[in-house]
Amino acid sequence: STITAGPLRWDGPLKRKIARHNAIANTQSGVQADADTYLANTATLKTVSLTVMCKPHPGIQIGDWVRVAQPTINGKAYPLDGIITSVQLKGSTSGVEPMQITVQCALADVQAVGLSVRGVA
């Protein structure tokens, strides 16, 4: 059983994540049903929306794959890769304002950054 759409899809930008699960089922249809249920229960909302303020760039579009550079902490960089889901670009008579984008990043990557920053991992 595989995810077929979105950033977590099997051939998507977040790479393949293989999960192993022992099932009691002993027929192909039973194993498939168990795999589908396991996937549905474990793959729901495995991304996190990050709001990012950045320099304006008119070429950035929804669906672009970007790397979000985090501040360097204790000499280590913690970049996060994700897909842009929202773009807000504003201007006024005083010039162009900072651009706000929403980036969907893998939950596991965001959690790994948090653990590293706290010194747990």
Longest dimension (CA), the chain: 69
Q: Where are the domains of the chain?
A: 1-44, 47-118
- For 44-72, write each residue's pLDDT tens digit: 667 888 999 999 998 999 999 999 987 77
pLDDT beyond 80 at 93: yes
**Strands annotated E in the chain:** 47-54, 65-68, 80-88, 91-92, 95-96, 99-106
pLDDT at res. 21: 66
pTM: 0.60
The residue that leads in pLDDT, 26 or 68, is 68
**Average per-residue pLDDT for the chain:** 81
Is the C-alpha dihedral spanning 81, 84, 85, 88 positive or negative? positive
Over range 97-113, report the average pLDDT: 88
pLDDT at res. 11: 72
pLDDT at res. 108: 82
